[in-house]
Amino acid sequence: MTHALIEGAVAYARERGAPAIEGYPVDNGGDAVNLTMAYVGTRALFESAGFEKAADAGSVLDGFPRVLMRLDLSA
């Protein structure tokens, strides 16, 4: 389901001329994420949608660091 949400967000941003879109998922390194905390998504999920890591977010969710993922839409 999260794949569809990301696709929809990217399409919405593109349609409105946004230069980029960002997300702040957890970087779980493939480890299991507590489903009550998985609402932010995972780094791998965002990478599969074409996003790249832009920075460390400086926060932690359920023991995993969060990262800033960005997809450039200007290309």
Identity at 48, one-letter amino acid code? S
State the residue range of the domain holding 68: 2-72
Whether the predicted pLDDT of 17 surpasses 80: yes
Q: Identify the CATH number of the domain in which residue 8 sits.
A: 3.40.630.30
Task: Reduce the DSSP state of residue 57 to 3 states and report it.
Answer: strand
- What is the domain count for the chain? 1
Cβ contacts of 3 within 8 Å, gap of 6 or more: 45, 48, 49
Q: Is the pTM of this model over 0.85?
A: yes
Task: Reduce the DSSP state of residue 50 to 3 states and report it.
Answer: coil
Percent of the chain with pLDDT over 90: 76
Nearest CA to 73 among 39, 50, 53?
50
- Give the pLDDT band of residue 19 (cuts 50, 70, 90): very high
Residue pointed to by tokens 């919405």: 12
The predicted structure's pLDDT at residue 54: 97
